Structure formats: C-alpha cells, structure tokens
Chains A and B, each alone.
Chain A
Amino acid sequence: MSLVRALLRHPSGRIGGCIILLFLLAALLGQLGLTPHDPLKQMRLDRLKPPSLTYVMGTDLFGRDVASRVMLAIGQSFIVGFLAVGIAATLGTVLGLTAAWFGRLWDGVVMRSMDVLLAFPAILLALLIIAVAGPGTWTSVTAIAIVYTPIFTRVVRGPALSIKTREFVDAARTFGSSRRYILTRHLMLNLVAPLTVQVTLALAWSLLTEAGLSFLGLGTQPPAASLGLMLADARNLMEMAPWLLIFPGLTIMIGILGFNLTGDALRDILDPKTRRAMA
C-alpha cells in the first residue's frame, strides 16, 4: 500500500498509473463484450465513416467500429504482454536465483545460454521463433517470453549474488534454515524491488513487440483485433481515412508511455541510489 501511495506522489507515477488503469478498464470492458458496437460486426452502409458521436473513432473499410476494435485490441495486447512477461519473469527468476546460488558449472551454463539469446536483436529472435512455430497469438507469447527471459535472469542474478554473501544469509544458514527457505524468503524478498521495475518496463516492451509482430502479419491473426494489425490495414487508407491510423497509433503510444512512466517512477521509488539523487 505504501508503494501505491509513493507512486501517487511521484508525478510520472501518477500519470503512468492513470494510463494503465484506464487501459485495463478498456481491456476489461472489451473482453466482457461491453463495447459501444460489436467489434466484429460489419456495418456495410457505414464503411470508412469519420469519427462522429455514433462512432467516436470512425469505422474501417468493412464498416467495423474502430473504437470497439481498439478496446478489443488493447485486451489482446495485454493478454499477450502479461502472459509473456509473467513467463519470462518466472523463468528468469528461477534461472537467475539458481545460477547465483549454485554457482560453478550451472551458473556458467545458464549465463552463457542467456548470452546466446541476448546475441539476437529482440525482434529477430522473435521472428526466428515464429519461423519455427508459425504465426499466432501463442507463438507471440512464447517468442516474447523467450526474448525477455535473459533480461530477468540478469536482473535477478546480480543482486542475488551480492545478497548471498551478506551476513543475514549466513545467519539464516547457521540457524539451520533450509535452502528453499533462504532462497524464497531472504533472497526473493530482496529481489522484489528490481523485479517490479523490470516487470513494468518489460510490459512496455512486450506491448511494442506484440504490436510490431502483428504489424508484420506474424502476430495476432485476423479477424481478431490487434493494434499492430489495425495499423497495417490503415497503411493504404491513411489519406482517405486518417482516423484508422491515428487512433490505434496513439493507443499503442499512450499504452507504452503509461508503462514506461510507471516503470521509471518505480525505479525512483525503489532504488535507494536514485532516491538519494532526487533528494
């Protein structure tokens, strides 16, 4: 709770938090089917209508309501993003913690494997995975998860290594605490701060990657709504119907901005070093 309060006191945190809440609400309503219009229904008579009171963001080439589709698409982005980041954070934490704890050969194997994954530009690694598994929502989740696992592994391993040598861990060992207890209680709790920051920032990247993959036609497949897909469709129509470009484009931008702002605010709040610098 104190974290939420601190976030609300931080200017970027306030704006970022509001954006995320607004997007979550839109996504939830979209997934519950509570959109202004049916996002998949083609209203043939109302094709390419500019924004109006009936269609706040206009309609697309098939006469579908853009606002409703944007709401549905935000949900899609969030599902992919949250799942992928959840998987990456879990995998990365387990790998990073065990690498730091066991050291030696296991540490070497894990960290060199992560180096290999990091040797690919993110979108390229995602493309390689899609080349193997074929495009689709689940492939996007897997691809994004694999791309971000090494980052979480690194974020966890560094601090875990330094915490491992601290006195309170030695003390816990002397008291006869089990390895599992030390790992989950002492190490994990101290890693919550860097992980929280990283998860928020990774969510921003995963929104970006999901939209990018869908834009290339390799992510979410039509007729499902996705912001990247909507932009790809808007490309040839943008002079005639700029609203098809502007609303989905702004939505992606503001969504990513929300997570970036929140991530930055969290870093300021949770990292004692920057906290000192700010004061």
Chain B
Amino acid sequence: MNYLTRRLLTFPLVMFGVSVLVFVAIRLVPGDAITAMLGTEAGLLTPEQKAALASYFGLDQSWFTQYARWIAGVLSGDLGLSVTYGKPVLDVILDRFPLTLQLALMAMVIALGTGLPLGVFAATRNGKAADLGVRVLAMIGQSTPSFVVGLLLIYFLSVGFGVLPAMGQFVPLWQDPLTNLGQMILPAITLGFAFTASVTRISRSAMLDVLSDDYVRTARAKGAPARRVIWRHALPNALIPVVTLSGVEFGYLLGGAVLVEQIYALPGLGRLVLEAILQRDYALVQGTVLFIAFNFLLVNLLVDLAYVALDPRIRLGGN
C-alpha cells in the first residue's frame, strides 16, 4: 500500500475513534443526562416525565444503540438539538464557524507573511547580530501566551494611542468588509503571534539546512545571483517543514481561538465551546468538539497531500 492510500484509510479510522471518545466522554458526566440537559428545571419533573423524556431521547437504550443512532444522525448532518439555543447544533455551529475560520486564516496569513521573510532574512545572516536579534525575538514570541499578547495589545493601544479595539456588535465580512477587518485585525495578530515566532524559527533552520546543500553551492558556483539562489533554489525546498508546521498549527489556531475570542468578545466557535461547557449544553459540546476535531484532521490530511505534491519521494516511500 503506498503512502497516499494508507493516509486516506487512516482518516475515517481516526475519525471513528474521535467520535467514540467524544460520545463516551459526554456519557461519563456525573448525574443523569436529563438533569444535565435541563439544569435546575429538571427538579420540577415527576419521575414519569423524566422516564418519558429519557425514552424520547433514546437514553433508556444501551450505549451501543445510542452511539449507533447518534453516529447515523451525525453522518446525515444531524448533530442533535442545543438546549440553550433551541436550534439544531449544526445550525449554531455553522453560524459561528465563519468567524473562527476567518480569524484562523488571517492569523495564518500574518504568521506566514512576517515569519517566512524574517526566517529567510535571519538564515542569510547566520551568526550575525541581525540573526541573533531575530532569534531572540522569535524565542520571546513563542513563549508569550496569546491571552497575554491580547491583553497587552489592548492595554498599550488604549493607553498609548487612545484607540480601543472595535468591539461591540460583530459584523460579518460579507456585510461590511472594512468594519469587519477593523474588528478582526487585533484578534488575528494576537492569535498569530506565537505562530509567527514558530514560522520564523522553522523557516530559519530549514533555510540554513538547505543553504548548505550541494545544489545550492552549485547554483552559486555557476554564478546565479544571490537573490535568485535564495528565493528560487533554496526556498522551495525549505518550505516543506513550514507547510507541515502550518498544518499542525492551523488546528491549534482553531483551538487557540477559544482564548482569543474570549478576550475580544468575538462570537466564534471557540467561545461557543466554552459557553456550551459552562452552560452544560452537552449536545452542543459534543457537536462542536467533533466538528473542530474533524476540521483539524481534514487540514492535516490536506497538508499531507500537499506534502506529497511538494516532495515526490514520499509518494513511493514506505514512510
């Protein structure tokens, strides 16, 4: 079996494992599900009403049957009903997802747009003061949690410049792009901060590896201009680890959005997970966690495919 087939086959397998884990986790919540679903209102129910509700939701059946029903629903796009929103879970998720996706994509553009040039710059000045400066900055950037970055940004902007980040009602991109970007730019910088640092470090070290390769020396020896050697010969090969990192990191951006959306009060998917947990809306927790994990896995799969496209050796190799 070649790499591609194996990779495509593990995707549904891992996704199955994820669904089982999420399903079991929610059922391990102490107390019965009806009380968990209705909160204090459950206290008003008679035992008969509780039993009726349990049988309505299929909770009196075995876990196996419940799982089979749930997964059949999930596969047909039915993630259940959110108690807090009184809407299908999928609708709630799809309402919130565009914001988080936009946030993660913007963070990624910022990180690659600044990290890659910085890394290449540092690599071409290996060992000099500029290189050291970039490395120190990257190390500090990687060690600063997003919520510290976010709070400091808000503080310095509001105290130093009297500018408050545009909070208030969130405006989707397609309604008013300018207002939207104004609202999203600070959160995106916050989310992308640590990622920028890791892109800088990875692209620097990948670039250093490649620059010492024979073919780069050959290109130099035949008189190719330095700029061409760096951008045309060296960079494409140095990109492979950056692509891998971006894929893994994209999932973390989706997860990290929990904190950033919380700081900037953005109604995205991350904040939805948090609300669902605090409100004990388990159908919603189950649905959002599954949704995010699915996207994370999907992105990783796409990255691996991109990897194959970038490096033909993998297509044939055993690993």
Assess whether A235 is in contact with B151, with CB atoms less than 8 Å apart. Answer: yes
Interface size on B, residues (CB 8 A): 50
Assess whether A249 is in contact with B148, with CB atoms less than 8 Å apart. Answer: yes
Measured between beta carbons, the chain A residues less than 8 angstroms from B26 are 131-132
| Residue in chain A with minimal CB distance to B27 | A132
Assess whether A132 is in contact with B155, with CB atoms less than 8 Å apart. Answer: no
Which of B140-184 touch A at CB < 8 Å? 140, 142-148, 151-152, 154-155, 158-159
User: B148: which of A130, A217, A231, A277 is its contact (CB, 8 Å)?
Assistant: A231
Residue-by-residue, is A90-123 near B (CB-CB < 8 Å gives 1, otherwise 0)? 0000000000000000000000110111011111
What is the minimal beta-carbon distance from A256 to any residue of chain B, in angstroms? Answer: 4
Assess whether B29 is in contact with A119, with CB atoms less than 8 Å apart. Answer: no
Known: A116-B17, A128-B285, A245-B155. Is A218-B143 also a contact (CB below 8 A)?
no
Known: A128-B25, A128-B285. Is A121-B252 also a contact (CB below 8 A)?
yes
Assess whether B143 is in contact with A239, with CB atoms less than 8 Å apart. Answer: no
Measured between beta carbons, the chain A residues less than 8 angstroms from B29 are 131-132
| Residue in chain B with minimal CB distance to A248 | B148
User: B18: which of A119, A239, A254 is its contact (CB, 8 Å)?
Assistant: A119
A141 within 8 A of B: no
Known: A242-B159, A249-B151. Is A208-B145 also a contact (CB below 8 A)?
yes
Known: A127-B258, A256-B145. Is A115-B14 also a contact (CB below 8 A)?
yes
What is the minimal beta-carbon distance from A156 to any residue of chain B, in angstroms? Answer: 18
Assess whether B155 is in contact with A238, with CB atoms less than 8 Å apart. Answer: yes
A86 within 8 A of B: no
What is the minimal beta-carbon distance from A112 to any residue of chain B, in angstroms? Answer: 7
Measured between beta carbons, the chain A residues less than 8 angstroms from B143 are 204, 253-254, 256-257, 260
Q: How far is the CA of A231 from the CA of B263 in the complex (A)?
A: 11
A211 within 8 A of B: yes
B254 within 8 A of A: yes
| Residue in chain A with minimal CB distance to B259 | A212
| Residue in chain B with minimal CB distance to A131 | B277
B139 within 8 A of A: yes
Measured between beta carbons, the chain A residues less than 8 angstroms from B277 are 127, 130-131, 218
B22 within 8 A of A: yes
Known: A128-B289, A235-B151, A253-B140. Is A211-B252 also a contact (CB below 8 A)?
no
- In the complex, identify which listed stretch (B38-46, B73-81, B235-243, B290-298) lies at the interface while the others stay far away: B290-298
Assess whether B147 is in contact with A215, with CB atoms less than 8 Å apart. Answer: yes
Assess whether B155 is in contact with A242, with CB atoms less than 8 Å apart. Answer: yes
Measured between beta carbons, the chain A residues less than 8 angstroms from B158 are 239
Assess whether A234 is in contact with B17, with CB atoms less than 8 Å apart. Answer: no
B130 within 8 A of A: no
Measured between beta carbons, the chain B residues less than 8 angstroms from A134 are 30
User: B289: which of A124, A256, A260 is its contact (CB, 8 Å)?
Assistant: A124
Q: How far is the CA of A254 from the CA of B208 in the complex (A)?
A: 28
**Residue among A234, A253, A257 with most chain B CB within 10 A:** A253
Residue-by-residue, is A239-266 near B (CB-CB < 8 Å gives 1, otherwise 0)? 1001001100100111011001100100
A216 within 8 A of B: yes
Measured between beta carbons, the chain B residues less than 8 angstroms from A245 are 151-152, 155
Residue-by-residue, is A171-209 near B (CB-CB < 8 Å gives 1, otherwise 0)? 000000000000000000000000000000000100010
Assess whether B159 is in contact with A239, with CB atoms less than 8 Å apart. Answer: yes
A8 within 8 A of B: no
**Residue among A119, A208, A254, A260 with most chain B CB within 10 A:** A119
B306 within 8 A of A: no
B262 within 8 A of A: yes
A129 within 8 A of B: yes
Measured between beta carbons, the chain A residues less than 8 angstroms from B10 are 112, 115
**Residue among A128, A129, A217 with most chain B CB within 10 A:** A128
Assess whether B293 is in contact with A120, with CB atoms less than 8 Å apart. Answer: yes
B residues with a Cβ closer than 8 A to A are 10, 13-15, 17-18, 21-22, 25-26, 28-30, 139-140, 142-148, 151-152, 154-155, 158-159, 208, 251-252, 254-256, 258-259, 262-263, 273-274, 276-278, 282, 285, 289, 292-293, 296-297
13 pairs from A and B in contact (CB 8 Å cutoff)? A115-B14, A116-B21, A119-B14, A121-B256, A124-B254, A124-B258, A127-B274, A131-B29, A212-B146, A215-B147, A216-B258, A218-B277, A254-B143
- 14 new A-B contacts at CB < 8 Å, known A131-B29, A238-B155, A257-B139: A116-B17, A116-B18, A120-B293, A123-B259, A124-B255, A128-B25, A131-B282, A132-B26, A215-B259, A217-B278, A228-B147, A249-B152, A253-B143, A254-B143
